[in-house]
Structure 1
Amino acid sequence: MQAGLSDDASRPLLVFVGAATFDALALVERYPDPDERVVASDIRFAGGGPSATAAVAAARLGHNVAFIGAVGADDAGDEIIAGLQREGVNTEAVLRLDGVESGASVVVITRAAASRAISNRPLPRADLTSHAAARELLSASAWVHTDHIGWEPTIRTLGELEMLPRTSFDGGHLVEGFTAEGLDLYVPTIETLARRIGHLSQVELLEQAAAESGGAVVATQGADGAWALSPGETVQQVPGFQVDVLSTLGAGDVFHGALLAQIVEGRPLLEAVSRANAVAALSTRALDGRSGIPTRSELEAFLSSDRSPSVPDFQESR
């Protein structure tokens, strides 16, 4: 599928499994000192969480998306689910748990450095994927994407299903017992990959990761874009895009959802990564991790306009 995606539900189902939170965000000029009050120029409340935000990115780009996760039976849980539903994300397999609080964070973002400090409330503990609604979605999906919260239950449940979707993993966090073996798409950060494999060059890191997984590997490196390796190809660097950054909160999560959306449309990996870089860059124009995510038409307009990639062309590395 290329430009001209329809809005019906006949498109391939993309299922995202893992963390969803409700966050309070404050934009300040500088972090306060102990016992000091600093006036915020903006305060927002927004949904967050790696897989939940990735789901929103894919949905914003026009795809058929469902989210599997767990929230408390509280006001924050109501907000999390409502925020996903407003984006057209199917939430029928989100667990509502009595007697627990939904995941939440307080995030303070500094304007000058676009850095952030985060304090979070732990996510509800639950078996995310063994219940009937989750299994039905997983069985019907073309792709399943998980974060560090969703990986273990998803892999366990997929092992019990007859029809297996393709799998994608957000490797931004280290997960005990994780192996990339069998993944169709493995997307860590360069930093996390180095912690897993060793402090090697970017090329060596991706080559070892690809040998482990057998699938495609894309490793992100912040403003420097990403490194990509398709099976049988050579490692290449894909440049990022220069935009006026307000906050990088959630940009990596947005990248994951956008990348999967582009791959499902049948785009070659390097093109898919470049377009995902653009989506993630545009998302940094907003304080929260979601409101700046472009629609499909906004992405196409940006890509057809004059812009300044941080590196002029794909860089082949050996």
Structure 2
Amino acid sequence: MSDTAVTPTGRHPVVFVGAATMDSIALVPGYPGADDRVLAEELTSAGGGPAATAAVTAARLGVPAAFVGTVGDDADGERILADLRDEGVDVSGVTVATGRRSAASVIVVDRSRGTRAISARPGPPVDTTRGVDLVRGAEWVHADHLGWPAVRALVDPALATRPRLSVDAGNPIPGFAPDGVDLFVPTVVALRRVHGERAVEDLLRAAHADGARRVVATDGGRGSYGADPSRPTHHAPGVAVDVLSTLGAGDVFHGALLAAHVRSDDLPAALAYANVVAALACTGLDGRSAVPDHERVLALLPDHDPAHA
């Protein structure tokens, strides 16, 4: 995979549509019981949200990215936008909803069990009014579970000339069908909710039968799987790291997968690349602080030849 920086072509290679949140995160040795007080090993606040974190990931990996969504006119909204700008993400398509509070979460990460508990405050509905031109003029549009209805209203998958569509289906999307989606990215667990307890390859084929084009399914520490219709299934194994928290790992994977697709259409390479990025992100407490840059990822890819970057 090339390490050449992506040059903008007058439009963003990827526009991410959906949720942006402000998260307060505590790392504890074990979950407190009722009325217990537990000392946190670490406390931090950071931006989150599937689409917003994916946008940050793509930008950090050198791919120009824009985020389209909605925040409130509160301090959390100001921080969300400031953090995205600091990462180089274009936020010109973000709507600030007057009199509304931004989405926010309180997250407790249990080190002993490697699990987390989340209490979330929903934000305003996704409004794409300010981002219509960004969405329609992108090379790729990636939507999370909150962003997909807005994207679907703007882009008809049946059109011959349109952005390529990527959908994060790790969270349920009411009424969703992947027909015409160019890059459908659920978890293996999400596919089994729809298609039952089948082998992973059978799950990918079931998604193809539903109309998805390229399907990539993530499976936690076991890595990721991908296939095009009527082509072999590829598996990229997970990458071993010292995991601190898996918060946002799936969102980071999506951003990295899109960054890889902007550079190359090679599916096995894209899976391996995204696995490395998501694994490294798990060495940080929040979903963004440990996301690497493109050069570090290339250095860790086992088959990367610097002489043919």
Output the TM-score relative to the length of structure 1: 0.91
CA contact (8 A) 2:53 2:251 kept: yes
1:86-113 deviations in Å (ceiling 9; x for gaps): 1100001111011111000000011222
1:192 aligns with one of 182, 190, 193:
190
Whole-Å Cα distance in 2 between the matches of residues 7 and 36 of structure 1? 53
Matches within 5 A, 1:26-45: 26-45=26-45
Whole-Å Cα distance in 1 between the matches of residues 222 and 236 of structure 2? 8
Whole-Å Cα distance in 2 between the matches of residues 2 and 236 of structure 1? 21
Whole-Å Cα distance in 1 between the matches of residues 12 and 102 of structure 2? 30
Residue 238 of structure 1 and its aligned partner are, at CA, apart by: 1.6
1:260-304 deviations in Å (ceiling 9; x for gaps): 110110141111011100000000000000001001112122225
1:191-217 deviations in Å (ceiling 9; x for gaps): 111111222111111001012224100
What SS does the aligned partner of 1:109 have?
strand
Please tell me whether residue 141 in structure 1 is matched to residue 138 in structure 2: yes
Whole-Å Cα distance in 1 between the matches of residues 6 and 251 of structure 2? 24
Matches within 5 A, 1:204-219: 204-219=202-217
Residue 139 of structure 1 and its aligned partner are, at CA, apart by: 2.1
CA contact (8 A) 2:138 2:163 kept: yes
Letter of the aligned partner of 1:50 in structure 2? P
Partner of 2:91: 91
Whole-Å Cα distance in 1 between the matches of residues 211 and 109 of structure 2? 36
Residue 138 of structure 1 and its aligned partner are, at CA, apart by: 1.2
Letter of the aligned partner of 1:153 in structure 2? A
Please tell me whether residue 123 in structure 1 is matched to residue 123 in structure 2: yes
Q: Matched residues, percent identical? A: 45
Partner of 2:18: 18
Please tell me whether residue 64 in structure 1 is matched to residue 61 in structure 2: no
* Greater mean alpha carbon deviation, residues 157-166 or residues 287-296: 157-166
CA contact (8 A) 1:139 1:163 kept: no
Residue 125 of structure 1 and its aligned partner are, at CA, apart by: 2.1
Residue 6 of structure 1 and its aligned partner are, at CA, apart by: 4.9
Deviating beyond 4 angstroms after TM superposition, the runs of 4 or more aligned structure 1 residues are: 6-12, 160-163
What SS does the aligned partner of 1:213 have?
coil
2:296 aligns with one of 295, 298, 303:
298
- Runs of at least 5 residues in structure 2 that lack an aligned partner in the other structure: 304-309
Tell me how large the CA RMSD over aligned residues is. 1.9
Whole-Å Cα distance in 2 between the matches of residues 123 and 257 of structure 1? 22
User: How many residues were matched structurally?
Assistant: 303
1:173-203 deviations in Å (ceiling 9; x for gaps): 1111101000000000011111112221111
CA contact (8 A) 1:194 1:205 kept: yes
* Greater mean alpha carbon deviation, residues 152-161 or residues 36-45: 152-161
Letter of the aligned partner of 2:118 in structure 1? I
Whole-Å Cα distance in 2 between the matches of residues 148 and 206 of structure 1? 19
1:222-254 deviations in Å (ceiling 9; x for gaps): 000011112331223221100000000000000
Partner of 1:269: 267
Whole-Å Cα distance in 1 between the matches of residues 70 and 172 of structure 2? 21
1:179 aligns with one of 172, 177, 180:
177
* Alpha carbons of structure 1 residues 97 and 11: separation in structure 2 relative to 1, 3 Å: closer
CA contact (8 A) 1:254 1:283 kept: yes
CA contact (8 A) 2:11 2:134 kept: no
1:22-64 deviations in Å (ceiling 9; x for gaps): 0000011011111111010110000000000011110010011
